[in-house]
Amino acid sequence: QVQLVESGGGLVQAGGSLRLSCAASGRTFSSYQMGWFRQAPGKERECVAAVSWSGGSTYYADSVKGRFTISRDNAKNTVHLQMNSLKPEDTAVYYCAATIGVGSRWPLTGGYEYGYWGQGTQVTVSS
């Protein structure tokens, strides 16, 4: 089992940057695929990025490709989301999530495929 705590959200102007962090408890962090999801008011939750167990494979939604970077440090039980060139449409609550995986499937982008979630952190981008 793993517990997740996000940090790093806030208010930023369009074009700015934020770095979200997710600290995980448990000694088996490296066994989990990790994802960052976001949900804006009135919109469905979407996976914006995911990283494989080793960090060797990454996934990005088209809406953030080239602007966001996901990374993980298994020695420190952390996963980060570096967000650059932020846009007002990036405004949402961002969630860190972990999954033990579904066989060899990659990437896992459905929220239902993740069993562990953080509490979320608000990101607001002003125009």
Instruction: Give the pairing type, strands 10-13 and 121-126.
Output: parallel
Task: Evaluate if residue 27 carries a pLDDT over 80.
Answer: no
Alpha-helical segments (H) within the chain:
none
- Return the amino acid letter for 100: I
Q: What count of other Cβ atoms lies within 10 Å of the Cβ of residue 7?
A: 13
The fraction of the chain above a pLDDT of 70, given in percent, is 100
* Whether 81 contacts 20, CB under 8 Å: yes
Burial-class residue 79 by CB neighbours within 10 Å (0-12, 13-18, 19+): buried
Task: Evaluate if residue 26 carries a pLDDT over 90.
Answer: no
* Whether 64 contacts 57, CB under 8 Å: no
Task: Give the residue carrying structure tokens 């999530």.
Answer: 97
Q: How far apart are CA 84 and CA 15, in angstroms?
A: 7
Average pLDDT over residues 69-78: 96
Query: What pLDDT is recorded for position 102?
Result: 80
Q: What count of other Cβ atoms lies within 10 Å of the Cβ of residue 98?
A: 25
| Mean residue pLDDT across the chain | 95
